[in-house]
Chains A and B, each alone.
Chain A
Amino acid sequence: MNEMNEVRKPPVATTGIIGWLRLNLFFNWTNSLITLFVIYCLYQFIPWILDWTIFSADFKYNYLGEQITNQEMCSRNLDPENGGACWAVIYVRFYQFIYGFYPKVEVWRVNVAYVMLALALLPLLYAKLPYRKYFLYFTYIFPVIAYFLLNGGLGFTEVSTNKWGGLLVTLVLGCTGIALAFPIGIMLALGRRSKLPVISMMCTLFIEFIRGVPLITLLFFGMVMLPLFLPEGIDMDGLVRVLVAVTLFQSAYMAEVIRGGLQAIPPGQYEAAKSLGMSYWRMNLLIILPQAIRISIPPIVNTSIGLFKDTTLVIIVGILDLLGIGRGTLADTNWLGLSYEIYFFVSLVFFIFTFGMSRYSLYLEKKLKTGINMGAD
């Protein structure tokens, strides 16, 4: 009878660090063997990669203490036994990687735009931000500000987009593509499910056509064909043409992702909304879409990450994004043979952005899940 009052604890061997190790890493002999093998691989790999990227690497000076200005001065080219990565190439070309060929006197404008982008993202990232409402207003007008800031006008000198490059182009394409494709995708998804056959057919046709064509084809189409459809004398900017292609491409994918979410909403939700007297748009905006988008967060972020990486394809039509600048640098005789360093750097930058997006999606999922059990209804 006495033990009735005692709080029974779980067996020691299943809790704490020891318990965790036993359950997850050394549960049985195959499990233990795999654990030991992985530890051995990490033991071999981690010191090597740290040595190559940091301890033996050149950043600005080589091991003789000279400032590096071309690949022949890299420690590893002077003495193959001595030296790791030659980051000097990134150091020397850093400006191009971040701004492309943007004129140096005007580059503060790009920096301001970068800072503003961070500010515009802030209210989207943190729901609990104080004065979030005002930050959101800023987010809405940010694209307009960014346009005049980067492109010129309103007293700013014009900087033609063929001078843009590097991270600037990658971010402009990625952000605009994702931001525009989202609302267009929602409209297409609703349109495809519409009861009006004309609308539904047009949306389906659009989605199927764009989805059935590789992005590269669309980019060529934007570059070569789009000007033919425009009236004489109107010259569409090259970057804008690419943006149109990228946005259309992304919208089609986004539409299908959101349609998937819409299909998961039980018909009872529509009926309840209608029986309360809600119109089509109100029902969709207040009841259906909030739930459908919530369900689709993982695939929405998935396609967004996909687009962010696909922007590198613009190199095909002669626009130099981050990867394009990297490849341009490699073609420079001064920096021949430094492909490890350059691709490593470009990958790292892309990874930072895409990993951030992926973390953000997890945060969103967790936040929106609180107290809501979609299955219970």
Chain B
Amino acid sequence: MSEESIISLKNVNKWFGDFHVLQDVNLEVKKKERIVVCGPSGSGKSTMIRCINRLEEHQEGSIVVDGIELTGNLKNIDNVRKEVGMVFQQFNLFPHLSVKENITLAPIWVKKMPKAEAEELAMRQLEIVKIPEQANKYPGQLSGGQQQRVAIARSLAMNPNIMLFDEPTSALDPEMIKEVLDVMVDLANGGMTMIVVTHEMGFAKTVADRMVFMDEGKIVEEASPDKFFNNPDSDRTKLFLSQILHQ
């Protein structure tokens, strides 16, 4: 099994000061697998996926992404970041650049792609997220849902093998959540390896291969969606589900 793993976390520990955010986290993700991570706020789920592209540093254990171990080696970190795309809760588009420039910037400067080619690529990515007509606008002129789709297009333009989503719909107005989730479902159906931190349980049920439930820095439960939603092992998971589904 593990030889197929594209992401492998072994006994990962991390502290913020004295606060033990990640406690012996173990996670194996196979190629093309879709993982949905959920859990109460402060449970360490964002920190965990931020460790995977080294936006946060882990202090103990090992993280291997696509055969590259994440250490202090800057070269390795750069290589991992080229493999891994990330979408943030707050979109984090570059407000001083147009939508098209947001997407072409990294291909041109990091991958040394010629400008014309990068622009073509940007338009293709914007078609995929269904907003090619917004190419020349600035982020501030777009709705939240459109901004998040641009952010997805920007990540995809680097042609990553893995996509990380850190609560991509949490900052959106309810009527815009669907347009972003639709894009993510398309992406999942296209065979992208994805780790998604989200509370959108409908999305989790349709897309996830595996559910990961975290609480207080630990992975409490790992199960298929079917088992996770209908017959979870831990009481903590049951409580969480009853609260989040409030039915």
Contact = CB atoms under 8 A, between A and B. Distances in A.
A377 B90 contact: yes
B90 A275 contact: no
Interface of A: 266, 268-269, 271-279, 282, 286-287, 290-291, 294, 368, 371-377
A372 B86 contact: no
Interface in B12-64: 53, 55
B93 A272 contact: yes
A276 B95 contact: no
Given A294-B96, A374-B95, A377-B93, A277 B78 contact: yes
13 contacts: A269-B92, A269-B94, A271-B55, A275-B84, A282-B110, A291-B94, A294-B96, A372-B96, A372-B140, A377-B90, A377-B91, A377-B93, A377-B95
Nearest to B136: A371
B79 to A, nearest CB: 8
Given A268-B92, A276-B105, A276-B154, 14 more contacts: A272-B92, A272-B94, A272-B151, A275-B55, A275-B84, A282-B110, A287-B105, A291-B95, A372-B95, A373-B138, A373-B140, A376-B139, A376-B140, A377-B95
A268 B109 CA distance: 20
Contact of A277 (B82, B138, B139): B82
A85 B41 CA distance: 76
Interface centre among B78, B82, B106, B151, by most A CB within 10 Å? B106
B92 A277 contact: no
Contacts of A278: 106, 109-110
A282 B81 contact: no
B167 to A, nearest CB: 13
Given A271-B55, A274-B55, A371-B140, A376 B109 contact: no
Contacts of B109: 278, 282, 286
A274 B92 contact: no
Interface residues of B, number: 30
Contacts of B86: 271-272, 275
Contacts of B55: 271, 274-275
B155 interface: yes
Interface of B: 53, 55, 78, 81-82, 84-86, 88, 90-96, 105-106, 109-110, 137-141, 147, 151, 154-155, 158
Nearest to B110: A277
Contacts of B105: 276, 286-287
A373 B93 contact: no
Contact of A279 (B78, B88, B93, B158): B78
A277 B158 contact: yes
Contacts of A276: 81, 105-106, 110, 154-155, 158
B90 A268 contact: yes
B112 to A, nearest CB: 12
Given A275-B53, A277-B78, A373 B88 contact: no
Given A275-B53, A275-B85, A377-B140, A291 B106 contact: no
Nearest to A267: B92
Contacts of B95: 291, 372-374, 376-377
Contacts of A279: 78
A372 B138 contact: yes
A275 B51 CA distance: 11
Contacts of A286: 105, 109
Contacts of A268: 88, 90, 92
A119 B151 CA distance: 41
A279 B79 CA distance: 11
Contacts of B53: 274-275
Contact of A371 (B81, B85, B138, B147): B138
B75 to A, nearest CB: 11
A291 B94 CA distance: 9
B109 to A, nearest CB: 6
Contacts of B155: 275-276
